């Protein structure tokens, strides 16, 4: 969804307004930013708030190394 689409819909928030986020959601969001790539297989939620990620996996992508013949 583009920024223009968000502005047209009721789903997004205008960029000029701040919203309050519960500290547990903030902690979860920061954690997601830290891992950058990966999977959270189980997330326990109570009363609408994230409580614990029971199992976390990281995907690590390795660059393809081309096989060059030595001269």
Tens digits of residue pLDDT in 31-57 = 888 888 777 888 899 999 999 887 667
Tell whether the torsion through CA atoms of 17, 20, 26 and 28 is positive or negative. negative
- Does the residue 53 lie in any domain? yes
Q: Which run of H or of E encompasses 63? A: none
Give residue 1's Cα distance to chain centre. Answer: 16
- Does the residue 45 lie in any domain? yes
Asked if residues 42 and 53 have their Cβ atoms less than 8 Å apart, the reply is yes
- Does the residue 3 lie in any domain? no
The pLDDT of residue 62 is 77
The pLDDT of residue 70 is 54
The pLDDT of residue 15 is 65
Parent domain of 50: 20-59
- Does the residue 6 lie in any domain? no
């Amino acid at each position: 969804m583009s920024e223009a689409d968000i502005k047209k819909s009721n789903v997004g928030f205008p960029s000029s307004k701040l919203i309050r986020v519960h500290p547990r959601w903030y902690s979860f969001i920061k954690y997601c930013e830290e891992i950058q790539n990966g999977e959270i297989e189980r997330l326990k939620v109570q009363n609408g708030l994230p409580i614990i990620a029971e199992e976390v996996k990281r995907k690590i992508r390795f660059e393809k190394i081309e096989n060059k013949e030595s001269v």
